[in-house]
Amino acid sequence: MTGGIAGHVDLLSRDLVEGWLHVPGDHPGAVIEILNAGRPIGTCRADRPRADLAAAGFGACGFSFLVPLECDIADPASLRLRLAGTPLFLLADAATRVDAPTIANGG
């Protein structure tokens, strides 16, 4: 990320997105916009306390977003996260856990 902004996408799944986003200065609890195939599906605030983030000096900036059932996420890797109101995306990387959807064979 840029401008002292730091963060990470820890988990992408069909029903849950988790990670952290720290925006320095007077921006506690930055708002994250979650997009699926380029369309917004919701927002969440990065204001959850986590021991690892506190120890790193970032404070309470974790987030967890429950994906609405009606979104029917076919591929969690297609989810994108953006700092709301900006063009800055929080990108998944090799350390991001992506839970691939499981497909049942008729039962």
Cα separation of 9 and 78, whole Å?
A: 13
CA angle 47, 48, 51 (to 5 degrees): 125
Q: One-letter amino acid identity for 17? A: V
Domain spans, the chain = 6-90
pLDDT tens-place string over residues 47-72? 999 999 999 999 899 999 999 988 88
* pLDDT tens, residue order, the chain (107 aa): 456 889 999 999 999 999 999 998 766 689 999 999 899 999 999 999 999 999 999 989 999 999 998 888 889 999 999 999 999 999 999 999 998 755 444 33
Q: How far apart are CA 27 and CA 13, in angstroms?
A: 27
**CA dihedral sign, ordered 10, 42, 13, 93:** negative
Look up the pTM and report it: 0.86
pLDDT value for 104: 45
